Amino acid sequence: MTFDADLNACAALVERADPLRFRGAMAAPVAARRLLFPLYAFNIEVARAPWVTQEPMIAEMRLQWWRDVCKEIAEGRTVRHHEVATPLSGVISRDDARLLDELVAARRWDIYKDAFEDVPHFGRYINQTAGHLTWIAARNLGDADEAIVRGAAFATGIAAWLLAIPELEAKGRVPLLDGTAQGVRDLAGNALARLKAARAGRRKVSARAGAALLHVGQAEGTLRAALKDPSAVGAGTLPDPVRADGLRLAYRAFTGRW
C-alpha cells in the first residue's frame, strides 16, 4: 500500500513533532495509518497554531482557519487543498469534523495567559483535545466503547501535560490549578486510576480500534514518575517517554494489551 505526497507529508510531520503517536501509528496496521497520520498531523497543526506568534489576533486567525476546514468537512463541501486538510477530509466523517472543531476551539486557551477556571474546565480541555482525538481514531478503526477510550486518552493527555509544564510556565501560562506537590500527586494519581479502569475494560475495545491506543502505554511511566517525585514535573526531569518506553510498544502491538 503506497502513500501519496500528502500522506507522506503528514507522516513526516508526525514523526518530527509527535514521536509517541508516530511510534504508535507505525506499530498499527498499514491501512490504519491512512487515518492516523492525517488525524495526528491535524492535531499538531492545531496545537502549535497558538504558539507561532505572540499576537493573539493572529493566533485566533490561525485557529479559525482550521475551524473553517472542520466546517467544510462537516457540511460536506469541497475542502481547501492543503497537505493535511486534504487527506483528513477523505478519512473522517461529518460528525468527526464537528468534534475536531471542538478540539480547535479548546486550543484557544493556549493563546492567552488566564488560568483554567476550575477542575471541570481543565477536564474539558483534556477531554476535548486528547479525548476527542483518540476517540475519533478508535471509532473509525473498529468497534469501541467510548468511555473506555476516553479514559485511556485522559491518562495520556495528563501525562503529556505534565511533561509540558516547564515550557508552559516559561511562556507565562498557568497550567495547573494546584501546583503543589500534593496537587501534582492527585492529578497523576487520578490519571493512573483512569488508565487502570480503562485497561480493565479493554475487552470492550476491538483489536482494530485498539490500534489507536498503542501509544497509551507510555503514559503510565510518566504518571508514576510524577506521583513518586512531583518536583520532577516543574524541574523538567520526568523521564523521556520515548526512551523509557523502549521495546514495550512492540509487546503492546503484538498482544494488543495497550
- Give the whole-angstrom CA distance, residue 28 versus residue 24: 6
Region 120-144 average pLDDT:
98
- Please say if the pLDDT value at position 121 is more than 90: yes
CA contacts within 13 A on the Cβ side of 20: 20
| Contact (Cβ atoms closer than 8 angstroms) between residue 223 and residue 195 | yes
pTM: 0.95
Q: What pLDDT, on a 0 to 100 scale, did the predictor assign at position 111? A: 97
Same-domain status, 153 and 257: yes
- Claim to verify: residue 147 and residue 167 sit in the same structural domain: yes
- Tens digit of pLDDT for each residue in 230-250? 999 999 999 999 988 888 899
pLDDT for 15 beyond 70: yes
Percent of the chain with pLDDT over 90: 94
Average pLDDT over residues 99-114: 97
Do 172 and 214 reside in the same domain of the chain?
yes
Query: Does residue 225 sit in the same domain as residue 122?
Result: yes
Whole domain around residue 31: which residue ranges?
Answer: 1-112
Residues 107 and 126 in one domain: no
Task: Measure the CA–CA gap between 210 and 223, rounded to whole angstroms.
Answer: 21
Among 64, 81, 112, residue at a domain's last position: 112
72 lies in the same domain as 162: no
Residue pLDDT, tens place only, 185-205: 999 999 999 999 999 999 999
pLDDT of residue 246: 81
Where a domain ends, among 81, 112, 143?
Answer: 112
> Among all chains, which residue has been given the C-alpha cell 501509528?
25
- Per the structure, the count of domains in the chain is 2
Shared-domain flag, residues 144 and 99: no
- What is the arithmetic mean of pLDDT over 169-187? 97
Same domain, 64 and 133: no
pLDDT given at position 247: 84
Backbone CA torsion sign across 113, 119, 121, 125: positive
Helix/strand/coil (H, E, C) string of the chain? CCCCHHHHHHHHHHHHHCHHHHHHHHHCCHHHHHHHHHHHHHHHHHHHHHHCCCCHHHHHHHHHHHHHHHHHHHCCCCCCCCCCHHHHHCCCCHHHHHHHHHHHHHHHHHHCCCCCCCHHHHHHHHHHHHHHHHHHHHHHHCCECHHHHHHHHHHHHHHHHHHHHHHHHHCCCCCCCCCCHHHHHHHHHHHHHHHHHHHHCHHHECHHHHHHHCCCCHHHHHHHHHHHCCHHHHHCCCCCHHHHHCCHHHHHHHHCCC
Q: Which of 93, 112, 131 is the last residue of a domain?
A: 112
Percent of the chain with pLDDT over 70: 99
Residue 181: per-residue pLDDT? 98
Q: Torsions phi, psi of 77, nearest 5? A: -90, 170
Does the pLDDT of residue 180 top 80, yes or no? yes
Angle between helices 30-48 and 5-17 (to 10 degrees): 60
pLDDT for res 159: 98
Residues 124 and 226 in one domain: yes
Q: Is the pLDDT of residue 1 over 70?
A: no
User: Regarding predicted confidence, which is higher, 68 or 250?
Assistant: 68
Mean pLDDT of the chain: 96
Together in a domain, 129 and 208: yes
Do residues 134 and 69 both lie within one domain? no
User: Amino acid identity of 153?
Assistant: A
Q: Are residues 129 and 83 in the same domain?
A: no
